[in-house]
Structure 1
Amino acid sequence: MSSKAGNIFELPEQLPSEELFEALLEHEKILIEKVVSSGQVTPTGEWYDQERDEWLIVLQGEGELGYEDGSRIKLNQGDYLFIPARQKHRVEYTSTEPPCIWLTLFF
């Protein structure tokens, strides 16, 4: 594996209409990913139902996640969360100004 430097806060001048996903590190059973959201949410009726545990932190902006039981959690800059594998969840809100930058760790 070669070294690669970058800046987590670097964004394109014009954000696309879709979320941006950038794998920062993939190694064996670990994936670290940068996600940039700017108003995107999970489509109605759809759920994330992942096979791996997920730990995430909001580095910039804010977002809100909803769970199958109807509960919701708002996450502001600096807030982090652990989501066990197979816990159905969805993105209910993401900020646009500034865009929401998530750092996710799947393991």
Structure 2
Amino acid sequence: MKSQNIFSKIPKNLKCEIFELLINDDTVTIERIISKGQQSSSWYDQKKNEWVIVLKGEAILTFENQTSVQLKEGDFINIPAHSKHRVSWSEPENETIWLAVHY
């Protein structure tokens, strides 16, 4: 086994959000997401619940009912399955690093 660092191998030029699969099996998926000024172009409507934490940076999630949640470093949220949401803002000057657990 080899350890990895969640903050390593971050591209210098982020033209789009990066979704990196870390773990995937029948019950859970864990991914690292890296944003830098991006916004979602469409609504996410996921089949599984999603627990997400911002490890670095800052972003705003907006839900279909127009509720917005600002997430800063260390903030996390549990999003029930089929709760349509999108990233409406992410920090443009620095990377926002998310850890998402789909279960």
The number of equivalent residue pairs is 103
Question: Alpha-carbon deviations, 1:57-77, whole Å to 9, x = none?
Answer: 000000100011111000000
From 7, 10, 13, give the equivalent of 2:8.
10
TM-score of the aligned structures, taking structure 2 as reference length = 0.93
- One-letter amino acid of the structure 2 residue matched with residue 11 of structure 1: K
* 1:41 to 1:13, Cα distance in 2 relative to 1, 3 A: closer
Question: In terms of mean alpha carbon deviation, does 48-57 or 13-22 score higher?
Answer: 13-22
* 1:58 to 1:41, Cα distance in 2 relative to 1, 3 A: same
In structure 2, distance between residues paired with 1:70 and 1:58: 21
Question: In terms of mean alpha carbon deviation, does 55-64 or 7-16 score higher?
Answer: 7-16
Deviation at 1:14, TM superposition (A): 1.6
1:58 aligns with 2:58: no
From 9, 18, 37, give the equivalent of 2:35.
37
Q: What is the aligned-residue RMSD (CA, Å)?
A: 1.2
- One-letter amino acid of the structure 2 residue matched with residue 16 of structure 1: L
SS in 1 for 2:97: strand
Deviation at 1:96, TM superposition (A): 2.9
Q: Which runs of 5+ in 2 are unaligned?
A: none
Q: Percent identity?
A: 39
SS in 2 for 1:9: coil
8 A Cα contact 1:62 1:77, kept in partner: yes
Q: Which runs of 5+ in 1 are unaligned?
A: none
TM-score of the aligned structures, taking structure 1 as reference length = 0.90
Deviation at 1:13, TM superposition (A): 4.6
Question: Alpha-carbon deviations, 1:56-105, whole Å to 9, x = none?
Answer: 00000001000111110000000000000000111001113321000000
Moved over 2 A (4+): none
In structure 2, distance between residues paired with 1:99 and 1:66: 19
